[in-house]
Structure 1
Amino acid sequence: MEDITRGGQFLVKETKCESVFTPEDFNEEQIMMRDSVKEFVDKELWAHKDKFEKKDYAYTEQCMRNAGELGFLGVAVPEAYGGLGMGFVNTALVCDYISGATGSFSTAFGAHTGIGTMPITLYGTEEQKQKYVPKLASGEWFGSYCLTEPGAGSDANSGKTKAVLSADGTHYLISGQKMWISNAGFCNIMIVFARIEDDKNITGFIVEYDRDNLNGISLGEEEHKLGIRASSTRQVFFNETKVPVENMLAGRGEGFKIAMNALNVGRIKLAAACLEAQRRTISGAVKYANERMQFNTPISSFGAIQSKLAEMATNCFVDESAVYRAAGDIQNRIEAREADGNSHQEAELKGVEEYAIECSILKVAVSEDVQNCTDEGIQIFGGMGFSEDTPMESAWRDARIARIYEGTNEINRMLSVGMLVKKAMKGHVDLLGPAMAVAEELMGIPSFDVPDYTELLAEEKEMIGKLKKAFLMVAGAAVQKFGPDLESHQQLLMAASDMLIEIYMAESAILRTEKMAKKLGADKVAEQLAMSQLYLYNAVDVVTQKGKEGIVSFAEGDEQRMMLMGLRRYTKYVNMPNVVKLREQIAAKVIAENNYCF
């Protein structure tokens, strides 16, 4: 297990391209799974997109049942409980391709397979798993997750819902109000979080919901939402709902831990669920651009449109690279733990928890990219893009929720840096050594030798190394200055997080391209090379801006001048790429293929 890079170590440890999992590494089983999911989406979801926009909740439920019959709901569930028992990469793959047509189904699927089923699979007793998981894996029953309350959103542990033990000690009586509950309208199982007495932390319970025996459970009306219109979203009210004591999930007061770990998995799965939406948006946009004539020429021949298509395709390629890199790392960690004798439950919990930083990074980056992609999709369609007659406006509306789900992007930005600092404090990631080395380097005289970049991607990889130094310089100085109080400096954390995000995303694309080039030859991956270079160029701009913002927020005088000089050194190209030509090259490929073709 020592050979596997730990979570957050990408910042201080060189990653070889051979050790990174990429979509080009899908095996035969994974390709078959991907193709069967795409067929299901085309036939049952994309072809009936209007039903979802007209709030046909019954059709969403029917599609979920069909997905269960095809095995899609049980991909991550062990075979012992009626699932397919596939690895984490397969889980991400299904989540990716099943989410392309409509956010309504994507939300129902994600809520059921993730936060509806997974807490029982990973925290349940053997009796609980045998009783509930097979029905959830098959689609006979559906799950929902009751955490959020009117006064408890991002601060999930502040919920007021109470669980009171009955006089005879056989059951708990749950009373309280939950809101924004996905799948509430057709679920059979609710994972409910409530507080026992004055416990510091909430506790999780498995609550059955039987429409013929309401047991003190009532539902609010369906919420009317900007997007994901056919995703059932309701308030849930509990009035002394009786729950057997054996339905407590994990131990008393362990609900907060369950909620946080469920969110870690939810974050990378949400990122995966934003990939196919981008591919389909790009393909739709380029098809329209090739057909739409203005001034006697297709608008795809205009540089302004080509620039948009190139940036959309680039972000999607980078997002794919980063999501599957992290999924591969998580799967390797899970398999290593199982080989060391951990149970499946323990291995999966610890495997995902190890990469919580990467999960937060992905959640932020990919949710923002899908929003930008759909926004540009509308712009390419022009006035038609604003019409309900084209799929762009619904894609844009559906994408908007992704920046709020699974912890807002603001929360996740601060979490990514906060978790990294905590890992460093525990000795899991050596940040102090490299940060001190960067500080010493700043005091030295920089080299004026012109490097020889004969090897493919050599300058790009060196630039990634320099961007890491820029982050270590800013974060190291900030930790030194503020110590434990750093978490109260939210704008500084947000700036540092944006630097961290860009480094991980850019490096993921470069490693994927390098791996492809070694296998196929550099001439076969010319556009992938161009996308990696274009994204890195944009990333350098972000690191420059956010690094400057961070430095001036806490450093003054000579220290500030020294750090700003260091930032310039670490963000300086030897050979500045021609980004206009890169965009033209990427767009030409997409336009010629008439779809997203990477």
Structure 2
Amino acid sequence: MSVTEQKKDLIVGGSFLTEQHALEHVFTPEDFTEDDHDLASTVEAFVDGEIVPNIKKLEEGRNEDMVAALKKAGELGFLAAEVPENYGGMDLAKTTSTLVGEKLIKHAGFMVSLGAHTGIGTMPITYFGNKEQREKYLPRLATGEIMAAYALTETSSGSDAMNARTKAVLTEDGKHYVLNGNKMWITNAGFADVFVVFAKINGEQFSAFIVERDYPGVSVAAEEKKMGIKASSTRMVNLDDVKVPVENLLGNPGDGAKIAFNILNIGRFKLGGAAVGGCKQALEFSAKYAIDRKAFGKSITEFGVIKHKLGEMAIRTFACESMVYRTAGLIHEALEDIDFAEEGAAEKILNGIREYAIECAIAKVAGTEALDYAADEAVQIHGGYGYSAEYDVERLYRDSRINRIFEGTNEINRLLTVDMMIKKAMKGQLPLMEKVQALMGELMGMPSFDFDQDDSLLADEKKYVENAKKICMFVAGAGFQKFMQKIENEQELLAMAADLFIEAFVMESALLRTLKKAEKDGEEAAAMMVKMTRATIHDGMERIAPIAKTALAAIEEGDTLMTMNAALRRLLKHAPVNTVAIRREVAEQVIAKGGYPV
């Protein structure tokens, strides 16, 4: 197993905001074992040997080519990563499976197809299927004998999944459910053998069903013409009086929301991991091109503006990588001891996944937006060539855009982040309100001039991270006290609060990773991480400042706002750091390595 063997008490989801997590409770990429790295190398070799040489053919969008590629992956066991061993799977840790996903991202169309099969297509059966359903489908899904898809979205219900109109009616003999409706934007629809379909029983109970392609009444429309991920199949699925055996109901009637949203939570953090892989690829493309590209008689890597781009791409990649694997470690620990065969396993799985829904949403938003930044800068570094389809960055740029829409738009995930945090606090699962009240007293009182002498590594940055978390609580608490239950109508404010949460979680994840590395291997070994962490935190504080000021102005006005801004200034105070020099140093390492420097 790639997570430390010592058993730990599970961390409460969202508690990064209200407490400090010990280093031994934080999983980082440096915790991977030699076996994990060997598996990752095998996956990378497969992608380099089987996928990359065939990218142009796959981009033509013929389903038979994608199916052939997926079946080759199945022969090597890559489709079985998270399937339990007793059903023919590898039962990998969530951390290791995230690493595998990162290595598969060299062609986004292939990764999307594989991810739809192994993730949202197979996981509902893995986690929520009964013994008979698992025995029937999982061994064949694990080998690639059959392919899976996930059918949730409809024309009238994208982010609003509960507005689905697909209907299921039980037949008089009680042996089948008859499904009618249409599902939109279904990945793998052109070749999937099995669909996990969501429908409302009698138009009321939102439920999940395993629907086989050859059931009479199942049909698919023509392929969608997409901006990117052209190699993947995306079609509408039509259900016309489809008779589905009652034994193909997943869970119980009305369990659809639990299944759908928790599978989406897993999909979100996995998408964050794939985005990290995409960032690394963008950085590699950019570094190699910049090294060879000459302008004004020298390599463009010698220009400061190019170094800025390379350094910033690497820093954002490092920060998001730290956050994604921290989240993966949390989810792994929540699920690792669950026996799929035991009574009540499904509920334990639901609880385990749901616990870290906040972190999953953050991983999705932060990761996909870091990738969009990296892809955009990669095109810019390539100049005119970046706009040419002859260069890989053109495809990378187009492919990256869908990620901010996949698995719930980033706007929806921002709103969910704050909503879930508030609900946890209201249920007493997080001491958020107590922390907010104590913080208000601290900020409105006289400032303390007692300073702790701390000469430890990144001492200032530790303080800034704690202040960033206080700013999150300050703004969220002020907003909730002002608007109470009506705060859900203040979407702009909620989105700003989410941005503060995201910055704080990413900043802290980078900090904890670096401190853990230094504690284990020494400060010299962590020197590059220290630089990137300092830049992450200091630039993060600069990004937090205008967000917090704008949010407070949306909550209060007049003298009250002036008082709140005075308190905010105390929390935002930080000593200037030459992040320009840091980015240059990081860029030099990127250039030396021809890609990601860690």
Same fold (TM over 0.5): yes
State the secondary structure of the residue aligned to 1:151: coil
CA distance in 1, matches of 2:355, 2:65: 38
Residue 231 of structure 2: aligned partner? 230
Greater Cα shift, 480-489 or 105-114: 480-489
The structural deviation recorded for 1:346 is: 4.2
Residue aligned with 1:98, SS: helix
2:267 corresponds to: 266
Q: Tell me which amino acid in the other structure corresponds to 1:589.
A: Q
Does the alignment pair 1:179 with 2:179? no
1:268-283 map, 5 Å:
268-283=269-284
Query: Relative to structure 1, is the Cα distance of residues 273 and 342 closer, same or farther in structure 2, using a 3 angstrom cutoff?
Result: farther
Separation in structure 2 between the aligned mates of residue 596 and residue 51 of structure 1, nearest angstrom: 28
Distance in 2, matches of 1:256 and 1:470, equals 33
Gaps of 5+ in 2: 1-6
What is the rounded CA distance, in whole Å, between the counterparts of 1:484 and 1:432 in structure 2?
Answer: 14
Segment of structure 1 superposing worse, 344-353 or 69-78: 344-353
Deviation at 1:167, TM superposition (A): 2.4
Q: Are the equivalent residues in 1 in contact too, given 2:149–2:194 (CA < 8 A)?
A: yes
> For this pair of structures, how many residues does the alignment match?
591
1:67 to 60, 64, 73: 73
Separation in structure 1 between the aligned mates of residue 10 and residue 384 of structure 2, nearest angstrom: 50
Structure-2 residue corresponding to 1:168? 173
| 1:203 paired to 2:207 | yes
Deviation sequence 1:73-132 (CA, Å, 0-9, x none): 111111111111122112212122112x11111111111111111111111111111111
Q: Distance in 1 between matches of 2:496 and 2:153?
A: 28
| 2:509 is equivalent to residue 504 of structure 1 | no
Alignment TM-score, normalising by the size of structure 1: 0.96
Q: 2:4 maps to which residue?
A: none
Match of 1:26 among 7, 32, 57: 32
CA distance in 2, matches of 1:414, 1:7: 16
1:295 paired residue number: 296
What code does the residue aligned with 1:223 have?
E
Matches within 5 A, 1:329-478: 329-335=330-336, 345-448=346-449, 452-478=453-479
Report the equivalent of 2:246: 245
After TM superposition, give the deviation of residue 448 of structure 1 in Å: 3.9
CA distance in 2, matches of 1:529, 1:338: 40
Letter of the 1:559 partner, please give it.
T
Per-residue CA distance 1:188-207 (angstroms, 9 max, x = gap): 101111112131x4111111
For residue 496 of structure 2, what is the amino acid of its counterpart?
A: A
Contact 1:265 1:359 in 2 (8 A): yes
* Partners of 1:95 and 1:398 in 2: CA distance: 16
Residue type of the partner of 1:207? Answer: V
Q: Distance in 1 between matches of 2:551 and 2:338?
A: 38
Matches within 5 A, 1:571-590: 571-573=572-574, 575-590=575-590
- Equivalent AA in structure 1 for residue 206 of structure 2: I
- C-alpha offsets along residues 469-498 of structure 1, whole Å, 9 cap, x if unaligned? 111111111111222211111000000000
Q: Does the CA-based 8 Å contact 2:165-2:203 persist in structure 1?
A: no
Amino acid at match of 1:154: S
| Amino acid in structure 2 at the alignment position of 1:16 | A
1:5 is aligned to 11
Deviates more, 1:392-401 or 1:270-279: 270-279
Pair 1:126 & 2:145 matched = no
Letter paired with 1:274: A
Structure 1 residue 40 corresponds to structure 2 residue 41: no
The aligned counterpart of 2:571 is 570
After superposition, the C-alpha distances for 1:391-414 in whole angstroms (9 at most, x for unaligned) are 001001111000000000000000
Which amino acid counterpart does residue 588 of structure 2 have in structure 1? A
CA deviations on 1:311-356 (whole Å, 9 max, x unpaired) are 10011111111111111111122236669x8865444332221100
Matched, 1:317 2:357: no
* Matches of 2:121 and 2:422, distance apart in 1: 31
Cα distance in 1 between the residues matched to 2:329 and 2:343: 19
Matched ranges for 1:133-172 at <5 A = 133-172=138-177
**2-structure distance, mates of 1:348, 1:198:** 27
Q: What's the counterpart of residue 121 of structure 2?
A: 116
Distance 1:58 1:443 in 2: 66
CA distance in 2, matches of 1:394, 1:337: 41
Deviations 1:428-468 (A, max 9, x none): 11101111111001122223456544210111011000111
* 1:105 alignment partner in structure 2: 110
The one-letter code of the counterpart of 2:91 is: G
Counterparts of 1:523 and 1:21 in 2: how far apart (Å)?
21
CA-CA distance at 1:16 after TM superposition: 2.0
Q: Which residue of 2 aligns with 1:220?
A: 221
Q: TM-score, normalised by structure 2?
A: 0.96
Residue 57 (structure 1) aligns with = 63
Alpha-carbon separation, structure 2, partners of 1:303 and 1:347 = 52
Partners of 1:338 and 1:347 within 8 A in 2:
no
8 Å Cα contact 2:444-2:567 kept in structure 1: no
Match of 2:89 in 1: 83
Other-structure match for 1:194: 199
2:228–2:402 CA contact under 8 A, matched in 1: yes
C-alpha distance in structure 2 between counterparts of 1:68 and 1:338, whole Å: 25
What is the rounded CA distance, in whole Å, between the counterparts of 1:352 and 1:250 in structure 2? Answer: 16
CA–CA distance in 2 between the matches of 1:480 and 1:96? 42
Q: Percent identity?
A: 44
Equivalent-residue separation in structure 2 for 1:297 and 1:104 (angstroms): 36
C-alpha contact 1:334 1:350 (8 A) present in aligned 2:
no
SS in 2 for 1:243: strand
Offset at residue 558 of structure 1 (A): 2.4
Q: Deviations over 1:279-331 (max 9, x none)?
A: 11101101111110101110000000000001100111111111111111111
Give me the whole-angstrom Cα distance separating, in 2, the residues matched to 1:90 and 1:345.
22
Once residues 392 and 348 of structure 1 are traced to their aligned partners in structure 2, the CA distance between those partners, rounded to angstroms, is 39
Structure 1 vs Structure 2 CA RMSD: 1.6
In the aligned structure 2, how far is the partner of 1:382 from the partner of 1:198? 53
Within 2, Cα distance between the matches of 1:563 and 1:471?
13
Q: Supply the distance in 1 between the matched residues of 2:93 and 2:53 (Cα, whole angstroms).
A: 30
The aligned amino acid for 1:132 is Y
Cα deviation for residue 175 of structure 1 reads 1.1
Distance in structure 1 (CA, Å) of the matches to 2:308 and 2:539: 13
Asked if the contact 2:258/2:350 (under 8 Å) is kept, the reply is no
Structure 1's unaligned 5+ residue stretches are: none
- State the alpha-carbon separation in 1 of the partners of residues 116 and 402 from structure 2: 14
